[in-house]
Amino acid sequence: MRDFKFMCDAANLPGRNLATTEFRTGSVSKSYVHSNNFNPTITLSFILTDDMFIKKVFDRWMDDIIGLTDAKLQGAVVQNLTNYPDEYCGSFGIKKLATNLSSSPASASHIDTYHVEIMEAFPKQINPIQLTYGSQDIMKLQVVMAYSRWRIIRGY
């Protein structure tokens, strides 16, 4: 399978906030943390090749989650038949790279400065792509990925 990391031109790093509850003792109120909250989606942007390889991969992934209305199972047309999350969820990493130009631009290397792992993820939405006859722009695909957990990979 082709390597996606060179075709992803934009990604969001997950954000995080702490959920709190107010507790009042006498006339003083204090906030106490009780859990982590985060937006459970990330948008990825991909540069598309002429063969639409990345679009086809995400289309197939979504079909594996729940097929379109013309999906067939043992010769019968089925609708709304979904797989279990452990069959369609996956993990991927997002890295923020810095270029090390200490020696020369010709021998530049990339240093991993921040790395997160997105877990139990699947494509929730594939945004439409506008096709135009006269456009010379590079085609891009935006995919909204849902996920349930993420973690920072230490050691950078």
Decide if pLDDT at 37 tops 70. yes
Q: What percent of the chain has pLDDT over 70?
A: 83
Whole-number pLDDT of residue 110: 66
Whole-number pLDDT of residue 73: 65
Q: Determine contact, residues 57/75, Cβ cutoff 8 Å.
A: no
Whole-number pLDDT of residue 98: 78
Decide if pLDDT at 109 tops 80. no
Number of alpha helices (DSSP H) and beta strands (DSSP E) in the chain: 2, 10
Tell me if residue 97 falls in helix, strand or coil.
strand
pLDDT band at 108 (very low <50, low <70, confident <90, very high): low
Q: What percent of the chain has pLDDT over 90?
A: 59
Q: Determine contact, residues 45/9, Cβ cutoff 8 Å.
A: yes
Domains of the chain from N-terminus onward: 4-152 (2.30.110)
pLDDT band at 137 (very low <50, low <70, confident <90, very high): confident
> Span 10-35, mean pLDDT?
93
Whole-number pLDDT of residue 143: 98
